[in-house]
Structure 1
Amino acid sequence: MTWPCPVDPSGVAGPTRGEAAGPRWRRTSRGRYVPATVDGTRPEQRVVEAYARTDGAGAVTGWAALWLHGAAYFDGAGAPVPLVEGRRRLRSTPQVRVLRALLPDDQVLTRRGVRCTVPERALRDHLAGTGLREAVVAIDMAVAAGITSRRRLRGVLPRRWETALDLADEHSASPQETRLRLVWQLDAGWARPLVNRDVLAEDGRFLGRPDLLDADRGIVGEYAGAVHRDRARHRHDVRREDLFRRAGLEYVEVVGDDLRHPALVVERMEAAAARAGRLPRRWRLGPAPVPLDDRLDHRDAMDRLADGE
């Protein structure tokens, strides 16, 4: 990140007034500049340029805070940077959305030199105006990053998001996996699947980790994103599908455009259900992963020890 700087008459800590007016510097906000070569479209750069407007009194929140906490899927594409303004009165612009709200000290952390709201508050601000399905996607991706959990979010998020929390899953690995799962549950009316659970052969050999698994009917659900188009990855996917089928698992695969047509996906799922069970079951579940809350509680305990508490 390149921090915006004010004009410096000496030209040492920033541009001179004449340099600031020239092509080698870019104005980010009133009185602040970065070199023109700095890419202002990168999420972290957008965040630091917006935060500089607060003079350190406010905090970033929403997607920007979640990004700084390490939630990679919150890149803010097409969205302004959300700021809680703090003591300085700011004005919203196409680049910045200003939230006028209380900012208690216990809801603020510093990440990479930027004051940002804690993950739970950041997610609450991010969800404002979001529909149910995209709220589940956002919760899943915050949880997948290991920065919070469904348990920690309960009581923090408004009650209207209880259904989204109920639908969320701590094991989802991508937004499209979550969207497929919501078609699975809400459109097809199928029971909640296991998510990214190891599947083993009867002799204990690892067969794969499907995106979704109906363990009762023996049906695997897979989202094939752009990464799966790579030749080596496609070869791996074909091999894995073959292993699943030989073990008695039926297979449903969807690509990105399919998720725009839930009825098509449901039809594919029902066809798989009609085929399921024709081969003997030659697979079993691998061990359940350690619950996320256990991992977060352990991390927090280690942090307290490191701080000498």
Structure 2
Amino acid sequence: MTHYQIPLETGWGPETRALDVAENIDLTGKLVVVTGGGSGLGLETTKVLSSIGANVIVATRDVDRARTAVADIPRVEVFELDLLDPDSIDRFATELMGSGRAVSVLILNAGVMATPLFRDREGNEGQFATNHLGHFRLAVRLWPAMVAAKQSRIVVLSSRGHMIPGFDLQDLSFSSRTYDKWVAYGQAKTANALFAVAADRRGKNRGIRAYSVHPGSIVGPLARHLSAEEIASFNALDADGNPIIDPASDRKNFAQGAATTVWCATSPLLASLGGVYCENCNIASLEDENSFGVRPYAIDIETSELLWAESLRLTRLNDV
């Protein structure tokens, strides 16, 4: 288990916006890669990091939509990337690596939530394949470009969905279990948090630190697979159908939701820390099943190493 899951004195909180934490940060000349950076939280992240000088690559399935969304944002490039397709990931990584550019920040933001059962071409369950395996493959393929940056960070979006029980290393693809879309989502988000632990262990001596993030409960593109009744059951909308914004109860807008991602990507307070799960622009506390924060199993070192080994096997990649 990590020894660093202890909140800091950051001065920030649930209502903090991404622009707030970016103030006085300068990323001029730094290259940032954001998966899913053309909509929702990813787009807000792209806007803010560009505003402090970063060159941003938006990696997305919907290239045309993303290009329209970022048309007025300086220093942004859009590339095609389908996290469910290993060939697409390899093409993207090969092109970027071939350019000789160092990657200072890799933000693994894209994802799906609570979908009907689908599988990738290898038979892996779709939420796990998209949210974890695709990002795992991307990070491993771009590892040399992050080492080349001398000091770089990986930020992966987990969520409080990791609190949903059901992470099963012996049945990640629901071959033996009955599929449940929420259990599958919780398993994928747990995998995201565990990924950050194992990635940080491998990277810290080479200048790479990794963090997982809970952005908050936000009504956005991630909810596209939910019915109106399901969304209503979360008490996420007001009487007029508009999202309820109440950061104190974790209901955030995109500016607030992107804040922890930007904080993990840029904060000097994290210069010597990594492998931690963060929320509300801080390292989250280690909590039991009756509290928020992060569950111990989502940052457990032994489990993270077992998942890393299984991810290497499933992707047929060599370790970094």
TM-score > 0.5, shorter chain as reference:
no
> Which category of TM-score, normalised to the shorter sequence, fits these structures?
under 0.3
Q: Looking at secondary structure, tell me which structure has more strand per residue.
A: 1
Question: What is the TM-score of this pair, normalised by structure 1?
Answer: 0.26
Higher relative contact order (CA 8 A, sep 6+): 2
Question: What is the TM-score of this pair, normalised by structure 2?
Answer: 0.25
